[in-house]
Amino acid sequence: MSTREKNLRIRAALAVAAVTGLGATALTALPAAAAGEAVTVQYRQSATGADQVEPWFKVVNSGASSVPLSQVKLRYYFKADAGASYTYACSWAVKGCANLTGTFGTLANPTATADRYLEVGFTAGAGSLAPGADTGDMQLRFHRSNWQPLNQNDDYSFGPTQTTYANWSKVTATVGGVQVWGTAPAGNEPTPTPTDPTTPPPTGGPALFDDFDYTGHTDPAIAAHGWSVRSNSGGPGVPGATWAPENVTFAKEGTNSIMNLRTSTAGTAESTRMTEILTRSMKFRNGTYAARVRFSDAPLSGPDGDRLVQTFFTINDLKAPMADDYAEYDFEYLPNGGWGEPANILYTTSWETYRPDPWEAVNQHSEVRASYAGWHDLVLTIDDNTIVYYVDGQEFGRHDARYLPERPMSINFNQWLIDLAGQTSTTARSYDQKVDYVLHVKDQVLTPAQVAAKVAAYRTSGTAFEDSVPAV
């Protein structure tokens, strides 16, 4: 996380590309999915009013083989209102709202009726669909985050006369990243998710790997390996809080060494201790970034409710307000909400630039409103065209080329409090964020499976640390 205040950042408007063409949408041939896999999307609208969109869906297995719903994603396309951010919700679903996810994305090629989309996915708990079966009702909705009026009439996927379920080709569906249903707005066909190759992961090339096998925050190997444990004051978070290097500790859990970042407070700025560790060198740019991180929803003891941010990210410095060579790529978990969110949410955000005063941001983000307590494999890949985020082997967000980095960055982990308003008690409490390892492979895009294989190879060989990434 950067050293600036970001309390309003998710409310900031995303940069939206200008509409460049108004051509009619044409049907295109769909690539083949796995043998026998096909789904049909049925849609009805439940609200034509001006405060929220209510797209309701059923997914029907129209193929010859069972389809795991965790491999299915739907996209509902709409035209964003100027300066608006949006909030997703599930009102009711036969499969259970907890087994549905909703994230927002920005189209690479905006049209007159679409520059954003709501992508609906399923967790493993949703199960599979047998041939001929359907999901039953999925009663979804989304609205402007500030509940200002919105206009559905210029939305590509909106069907004002669709008051009963029927097949709807203006919503697309993919199975395993392959489009099997519907027609996207012109030039915006869903990008296939890469499948794990059968070939082994690359073994050569510059890389950073750290198993975090240290004795404590004063271990001289930490600095020798290029890390800095933060002690200087400043943002983000609670003004006047302390960044406490002694709260970064290391211990064995099973056969692995684990780094622990502890953040504690007794409800005052003076009692608040936050934690951060970062590489001193900014030498990381394109390639693959990965870490295994344990997020926590509850404090170790004391009252819950603090507006906490647990992170893994890359960043460089902002040389001037709205400087176009700034870059930042975040995994940020808020276990108790914050930034206007009432409950737990995981964000991935790609930054082009920002201005701190008056606040203005240019970024793209994806989010899922669900608990992510526990261990998670986080992977970020950056090449010359795309930024892709993965959580536990599944694509979480895919962001546009306009947010690609122009300069190298550092690699960071931190845990901090947005403010003290979420929990005003003066009873002491503390929260832990754990990190198992970090990996960066320069200029190579690895799949999550290849990341796991590369980490396993380091550990099998007994390599706890490597840094062959050249300085810049």
Pairing of strands 328-334, 138-144: unpaired
pTM above 0.75, yes or no: no
Q: What is the pLDDT of residue 177?
A: 79
- For residue 60, pLDDT beyond 60: yes
**How confident is the model over 206-214, as a mean pLDDT?**
97
- The residue written with tokens 């499969």 in the block is 95
If you write DSSP's letter for every residue of 287-340 in order, what string do you get?
A: EEEEEEEEE-SS-SSS-----EEEEEEEE----STT-TT--EEEEEEETT-BTT
Conformation bin of residue 284: beta by default, left when phi > 0, alpha when psi is -120 to 50: beta
**pLDDT tier for residue 197 given thresholds of 50, 70 and 90:** very low
Per-residue pLDDT of 360-418, as tens digits, reads: 989 999 998 889 999 999 999 999 999 999 998 888 889 989 899 999 999 999 999 99
State the DSSP code for 134.
B
Residue 286: which of 379, 380, 366, 349 has the closest Cα?
380
Per-residue pLDDT of 318-358, as tens digits, reads: 999 999 999 999 999 999 999 999 999 999 999 999 998 99
Residues 4-7: contacts with CB under 8 Å, at least 24 apart: 4/235, 4/236, 4/318, 4/354, 4/356, 5/235, 5/236, 5/356, 6/236, 6/339, 7/338, 7/339, 7/418, 7/419
Across the chain, mean pLDDT equals 88
Q: What is the pLDDT of residue 192?
A: 47
Q: Please, what is the end-to-end C-alpha distance for the chain in angstroms?
A: 22
Rounded CA separation 404/388 (Å): 11
- For the chain, what percent of residues have pLDDT higher than 70? 89
**How confident is the model over 63-72, as a mean pLDDT?**
87
**How confident is the model over 416-437, as a mean pLDDT?**
96
Q: What is the pLDDT of residue 254?
A: 82
Per-residue pLDDT of 87-123, as tens digits, reads: 999 999 999 998 999 988 888 889 999 999 999 999 8
**pLDDT tier for residue 50 given thresholds of 50, 70 and 90:** confident
Per-residue pLDDT of 16-49, as tens digits, reads: 222 222 222 233 333 344 445 689 999 999 988 7
- For residue 190, pLDDT beyond 70: no
Q: What is the pLDDT of residue 37?
A: 66
**How confident is the model over 137-155, as a mean pLDDT?**
92
- For the chain, what percent of residues have pLDDT higher than 90? 71
- For residue 289, pLDDT beyond 60: yes
The angle formed by the CA atoms of residues 415, 412 and 374, to the nearest 5 degrees, is 50
